[in-house]
């Protein structure tokens, strides 16, 4: 019983580590490679943005909300307690939290320009998470 609880906690944190190391680098790539009036993308700038993106994502720089990932983790934990399906809880959490962020920050120019990039990055992050942890999710669902 204790091993099963520890394994669930391990999968829970692996899910969020994969999210941090897949969503934020993909979003950083899109943001840093998009030319703007004041910004000319170079290979060094793109590489630096991708390398530092997990740390910037944890700090909430990409979301305009400090430490937003911790709110997402708590939300997923509470949804998982109701749903008992790890992957569905993860997807519901991602959808709810990012819809909240989009509506909360939609008036900013950054969100309006990057809305497509946000959804593409989320889709790829969810897909990566499913492909890597698929067997574990099936093992611990309901």
* Helices assigned H by DSSP within the chain: 2-33, 43-59, 68-83, 86-105, 109-139
* CA gap 59, 66 in Å, rounded: 6
Q: What is the pTM of this model?
A: 0.85
Q: Which two tokens stand for residue 129?
A: 């998470």
In tens, the pLDDT along 17-30 reads 999 999 999 999 98
pLDDT at 37: 63
In tens, the pLDDT along 83-127 reads 888 899 999 999 999 888 888 776 666 666 778 888 899 999 999
Q: Is the dihedral of CA 91, 103, 70, 61 positive or negative?
A: positive
């Amino acid at each position: 019983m204790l091993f099963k609880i520890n394994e669930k906690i391990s999968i829970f944190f692996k899910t969020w580590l994969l999210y941090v190391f897949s969503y934020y680098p993909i979003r950083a790539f899109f943001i840093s490679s998009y030319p703007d009036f004041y910004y000319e993308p170079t290979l060094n700038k793109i590489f630096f943005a991708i390398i530092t993106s997990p740390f910037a994502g944890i700090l909430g720089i990409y979301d305009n909300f400090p430490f937003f990932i911790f709110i997402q983790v708590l939300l997923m934990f509470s949804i998982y307690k109701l749903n008992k399906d790890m992957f569905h809880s993860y997807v519901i959490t991602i959808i709810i939290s990012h819809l909240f962020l989009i509506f909360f920050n939609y008036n900013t120019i950054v969100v309006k320009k990057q809305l497509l990039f946000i959804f593409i990055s989320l889709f790829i992050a969810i897909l990566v998470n499913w492909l890597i942890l698929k067997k574990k999710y099936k093992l611990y669902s309901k």
